[in-house]
Amino acid sequence: RKHTDRPIIFRSHPITRPEDIPCAGFKPHSLKIDNFVVSSFSTMSVAKVLEDAWCSVTRTSNAGVDSVLEGVPLITPDPICVGYNLASHSVKDIVKPATPNREQFFYDLAYAQWSIPEITQGLAWEHLRPHWNKHEK
């Protein structure tokens, strides 16, 4: 454990069982690390995990949004993550993660919500289309 002794809960994607995660050979269920727990979607909700969380670490998961909404600091290395501008970008920051003001994030998030009629009318696509593929390398 290089950066923290705090408990770590590894939570896979809701449709992925922890034992099925190949991630370049990463098999979280076989790790023997102190204070490391593998939680599947069916055993613990994101909200429950965040109740006592010090921070959350994700690449691009919507759980990062949940983390920000709940006031739990976020760490993500990926600029495509919705919470990137509010996050620390390295696990090296886990001892003192960024905790910026979230107000503008809430405004931006609310602005990006679309009703069924707006989607049907093509308004959402009209707004998003200029940004499509913007983050591709």
Residue 135, pLDDT > 90, answer: no
72 and 23, same domain (yes or no)? yes
Indicate whether 116 belongs to any domain.
yes
62 part of a folded domain: yes
Q: What is the mean pLDDT of residues 43-66?
A: 84
Query: Are 23 and 81 part of one and the same domain?
Result: yes
Quote the pTM value: 0.68
Asked if residue 119 belongs to a domain, the reply is yes
**What is the number of structural domains in the chain?**
2
Confidence of residue 24 (pLDDT cuts 50, 70, 90): very low
Per-residue pLDDT, averaged over 42-66, amounts to 83
- The per-residue pLDDT for 21 is 55
Inside any domain, residue 2: no
Q: What is the pLDDT of residue 122?
A: 95
What three-state secondary structure class fits 88? Answer: strand
Write down the residue that tokens 């204070």 correspond to: 35
Range of the domain at 36: 8-100
Q: What is the mean pLDDT of residues 126-131?
A: 86
- Does some domain include residue 3? no
What is the pLDDT at residue 70? 93
Question: What is the average pLDDT score of the chain?
Answer: 80
Same-domain pairing of 96 and 107: no
| Alpha carbon distances (Å) from 112 to 22, 30, 54, 69, 76 | 33, 39, 28, 15, 21
Quote the pLDDT of residue 27: 54
Q: Are residues 33 and 93 in the same domain?
A: yes
For the chain, list the strands marked E by DSSP: 8-11, 36-39, 56-57, 74-75
Q: How confident is the model over 75-109, as pLDDT tens digits?
A: 998 898 889 999 999 888 888 999 999 999 999 88
Residue 1 domain-assigned (yes or no): no
Which of residues 118 and 45 earns the better pLDDT score? 118
Q: Do both 44 and 75 map to the same domain? A: yes
29 and 94 belong to one structural domain: yes
Within a domain: residue 129?
A: yes
d(C-alpha 106, C-alpha 96), whole Å: 23
**Does the residue 123 lie in any domain?**
yes
pLDDT at residue 39 tops 80: no
Exposure string over 79-118, b if 16+ CB within 10 A, otherwise e: eebbbeebbbeeeebbeebeeeeeeebeeeeeeeeeeeee
Pairing of strands 8-11, 74-75: unpaired
For residues 66 and 17, state if they share a domain. Answer: yes
